[in-house]
Chains A and B, each alone.
Chain A
Amino acid sequence: MKQRNEKLWSILILGLVNAGIIIVLSFLSPTFLTYENIVSVLKRMSELGMLAIAETIVFISGGFDLSVGTIMALSGLIAVQMYIFGLPFFLCILLALLGGMAAGLMNALLIVKLRLQPFIVTLATMSIFRSIVYGVLRGKTLTQFPESYLAYGDLTILGLPFLFIVLVIFAVLSTLLLERTYIGRHIHAVGGNEHAAYLSGILVDRIKYTVYILSGFISACAGLLFSMRIRAVIPDAGLNAPLEVVTAVVIGGTAITGGKGSIIGSLLGVLALFLLTNGFSLLNLNPFWQQVVLGLLLIYVVGREGITEALAGKKLKKRSHQAVRIDRAQ
């Protein structure tokens, strides 16, 4: 019960922060609160939102996935490349999604079968997938999508962009999965204490396979949404995703040590990032300020307890023990 209240509080605070940014930005720029600008922000946040959903599920299970952004680039590439080869388009979509799931399966196999650490595995697979994307595209941009597919990028239903509606559907489904099914409970249990989960009869390995394959699938969907929005496949898609997604997810209250977190929090985190980006461009700041601010934000959010303690200069003993615990959990 206490944890539930804590979660609601952090979501509420994040919602208020977002509202605050919106109010400030609407004062700074008259074009901010126009329908066009809102639609464009919602569209742009949809693919990163999808990646954040994937990362949240992985984080709750106690894992780490640096490869989400690269799987996103890979799936768009598979779709367009297969279409160029002359396959019917629905099959290309299917293959793109399967490709994402296969990439997730590859991560899971390495993590489960060889007991490797998730972060180093996904660091390596990130490099592998990105290299495949670079090697196939060779710096080119592919745009040979059928027009009927690209039309979804501009489609709006009841005034809301189609891309955003897809994001909402995925958010609702994965929240239901995490909160209302036994799989979700097991994911929480594995992230909370893997050994205890194993001893109480949870099939830990199967949960890990589920989590990483699901993460690959959702990232592949993100890749399709991205290609609809920008009407192309580009080599550098999702290049900054590790930083952006991890930052958004931890801002949203998900613990990097696993066991707790929420999809809605992560999406509010993504929204905050996009509002900040929007604000930076309205203020005509160098776009690299965003990179700096995100990095600072990431370290601050993960370490805020440690920072307050370090500033207060007390509880030294407790802190050093905590550091050990977190390092081990990593």
Chain B
Amino acid sequence: MNTPLEFKIQEKHKSLRNFRELPIFLYILCMLIVFSIIIPGFFSTRNFINISRQIAVVGILSMGMTLVILTGGIDLSVGSILSFAISIGGMGIPDGKSIWSVYPLVLGLGLLLGLVNGFLVTSISVPAIIVTLGTMNIYRGITMIVTKGKYITPIPSQFLYIGRGLTPFLFLVGTVILFIYITLFTRFGRNIYAIGGSEQSAIYSGVPVKKYKIAVYAISGILSAFAGLIFVGRSAFIQPQAGIGYEMNAIAAVVIGGTSISGGAGSILGSFLGSALMGLILAGLTMLSVDPYWQGLVTGVLIILAISMDSFQKLRSERRTL
């Protein structure tokens, strides 16, 4: 009865925290039911495997994006890293290089570009949005110059296994589990939340903020390259224009999943559910034969709805504490 007010609020906040992903989970169920009723053939194994493959690329991108956004940054260059890594790393494919030499090269390129982002963000005090707006164009430009805009095709079948059947989705689930473990149960993960909560306090409490920030951009880079490999496996050709606009989808998945765009709060599981919800909606719209031109509208509206919800909650809790 005599619980202090502060404690009550904290408790309430805690229970909200615990169910942070519940609303989005319900949205997914609603969407599943609605689409299954109105679209014949939506509720079928083949269609779900299809959707799961579509989710995989954006889902993996959104894992890295979540870490970056949790630290209070943003990475607009994921789509460009994806195409850079597969186009330039895959240049040996027509000469008969095997996956054992191509895959490490592709992932290495992703790591390198991510490190460049991280280095620029931390060491020359330029905001992440400006750095990655710049590198997004630099990487894309270099890709177009080096490849001269040419496609790489045909792709030998050893590169296609990664994109077949449920494999992409299994890779996604594996990545999700790995990063849930990292964010929740390791010091690395806790410090990432600390940096996003208040960078100043993190510095004062001895967190090597610079190293951590470089690390999250590097992880985002590797995951972009990895998503690129799955993309190649799915589409069976490599085009230098791959991944244009993917940063929007990844950011959308992350903020729909409840991660705060100003950093410090959010979860990997949320981003996974966010990308699943987006994948479902986009697939449903495609099956309703809505033009793909309108996909940007859907993504944009979803982003605004998601960040508005986050902001509403904040404004309301501010008012309540006042």
B300: which A residues are within 8 A, CB to CB? 124-128, 131
CB distance from B290 to the nearest CB of A (A): 9
Contacting pair A127 B125 (CB below 8 A): no
Whether A146 sits at the interface, judged by CB under 8 Å, is no
CB distance from B71 to the nearest CB of A (A): 9
Which of A120, A132, A305 lies in contact with B307, CB distance below 8 A?
A120
B129: which A residues are within 8 A, CB to CB? 64, 119, 330
> Which of the candidate stretches A24-32, A167-175, A293-301 sits at the interface with the other chain?
A293-301
CB distance from B288 to the nearest CB of A (A): 14
Contacting pair A127 B199 (CB below 8 A): no
Contacting pair A256 B296 (CB below 8 A): no
- In angstroms, Cα B124 to Cα A323, docked, is 8
Whether A289 sits at the interface, judged by CB under 8 Å, is yes
Contacting pair A256 B127 (CB below 8 A): yes
User: How many residues on B have C-beta within 8 angstroms of the other chain's C-beta atoms?
Assistant: 55
What total of A-B pairs shows CB separation below 8 Å? 159
B294: which A residues are within 8 A, CB to CB? 131, 134-135
CB distance from B293 to the nearest CB of A (A): 4
Contacting pair A298 B134 (CB below 8 A): yes
Whether A2 sits at the interface, judged by CB under 8 Å, is no
B131: which A residues are within 8 A, CB to CB? 299, 303
- In angstroms, Cα B203 to Cα A106, docked, is 38
B73: which A residues are within 8 A, CB to CB? 327
Whether B38 sits at the interface, judged by CB under 8 Å, is no
A324: which B residues are within 8 A, CB to CB? 199-200, 203
Which of A121, A292, A306, A320 lies in contact with B304, CB distance below 8 A?
A121
Apart from A120-B307, A296-B134: 4 A-B pairs, beta carbons within 8 A:
A119-B74, A120-B261, A128-B301, A298-B134
- Footprint of A on B, CB under 8 Å? 72-74, 120, 122-131, 133-138, 140-142, 144-145, 148, 199-200, 203, 209-210, 245, 248, 251, 255, 261-262, 291, 293-301, 303-304, 307-308, 311-312, 314-315
- Footprint of B on A, CB under 8 Å? 64, 110, 114-117, 119-121, 123-128, 130-132, 134-135, 138, 242-243, 246, 250, 256, 286, 288-292, 294-296, 298-299, 302-303, 305-307, 310, 319-320, 322-324, 326-330
Q: Show 13 A/B contacts (Cβ-Cβ < 8 Å), sorted by A.
A: A114-B308, A124-B303, A127-B245, A127-B300, A250-B130, A294-B137, A295-B138, A298-B134, A299-B120, A307-B124, A326-B126, A327-B127, A330-B128
